[in-house]
């Protein structure tokens, strides 16, 4: 392969991998080549596989960058609240004549600081972690499903209609652990 062909091949590969052009015909028209030449290069070097690999790597890098940014922001937020509490503590050391109004204001500041710290640690306002919140939501959803199943069982005598209602309800639920949507259960058994 001569130097000019190698340079054209490299340019064609770059146009495809960067997403500037997606078809052999577009690349061929841009570089004044035949589409089958571009197609042969694409197949020989597996440009599609390379592009998929690059897209996956970019997505993984984006996820890592978002996670890193989120952690950095949370750490910064947590430190901000720590500084506020430390400053408040220093000011309170020298004050012995606090009024009820002052103490109420301080209590409000402490409450907001604690909430801010819990949020920075990705905890709910009551101190529970995101996992606990999700588990509680799943438990509530399971209770609601059981309630609906019991109501159907008591009020619908036709078994075929009960089955159809049960399947419709389970089909409408988001799939996930504990929702019942991914469990192959017979709605008549509940």
pLDDT of 133-190, one tens digit each?
667 777 777 777 777 777 777 777 888 887 787 777 777 766 654 444 444 444 444 4
Find tokens 């720590």 and name the residue.
Answer: 82
Predicted pLDDT of residue 121: 66
Among residues 108, 83, 17, 84, the alpha carbon closest in space to that of 55 is found at: 17
- Which ranges of 2-99 would DSSP assign to H, the alpha helix? 3-17, 24-31, 35-44, 47-93
- Contact in structure between 140 and 148 (CB atoms under 8 Å): no
Contact 173, 167 (CB under 8 A): no
88: CB partners within 8 A, 6+ apart = 106, 109, 110, 113
Q: Render pLDDT for 92-141 as a digit per residue (tens, 0 to 9).
A: 777 777 777 877 787 888 777 777 767 766 655 555 556 666 677 777 77
Q: Nearest 5 degrees, angle CA 58-CA 35-CA 8?
A: 65
Pick the residue with more confidence: 152 or 19?
19
At 50 the pLDDT is: 84
Does the pTM of the predicted model rise above 0.85? no
Look at residue 39 in the predicted model and tell me its pLDDT.
95
Q: pLDDT tens digits for 45-92?
A: 998 888 888 777 777 787 777 777 777 777 777 788 788 878 887 877
Question: What would the DSSP string read from start to end of 112-167?
Answer: HHHHHHHHHTTB-TTS-BHHHHHHHHHHHHHHHHHHHHHHHHHH---HHHHHHHHH
Other beta carbons less than 10 A from residue 55's beta carbon: 12
Rama region for 124: left / alpha / beta (φ>0; ψ in -120 to 50; rest)? beta
Q: What is the pLDDT of residue 71?
A: 73
Nearest to 84 by CA among 124, 111, 102: 111
Tell me, what DSSP letter sits at residue 187?
A: G
Contacts of 21 (CB under 8 A, 6+ apart): 15, 27, 30
């Amino acid at each position: 392969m001569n130097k000019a062909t190698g340079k054209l091949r490299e340019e064609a590969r770059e146009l495809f991998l960067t997403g500037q052009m997606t078809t052999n015909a577009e690349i061929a028209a841009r570089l004044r080549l035949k589409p089958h030449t571009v197609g042969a290069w694409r197949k020989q070097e597996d440009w599609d596989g390379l592009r998929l690999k690059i897209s996956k790597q970019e997505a993984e890098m984006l996820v890592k960058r978002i996670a890193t940014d989120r952690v950095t922001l949370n750490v910064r937020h947590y430190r901000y609240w720590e500084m506020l509490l430390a400053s408040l503590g220093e000011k309170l050391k020298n004050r012995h004549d606090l009024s009820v109004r002052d103490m109420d204001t301080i209590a409000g500041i402490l409450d907001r600081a604690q909430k801010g710290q819990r949020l920075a640690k990705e905890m709910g306002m009551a101190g529970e972690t995101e996992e606990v919140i999700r588990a509680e939501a799943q438990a509530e959803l399971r209770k609601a499903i059981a309630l609906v199943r019991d109501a159907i069982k008591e009020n619908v005598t036709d078994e075929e209609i009960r089955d159809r209602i049960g399947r419709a309800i389970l089909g409408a639920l988001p799939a996930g652990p504990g929702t019942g949507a991914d469990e192959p259960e017979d709605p008549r058994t509940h």
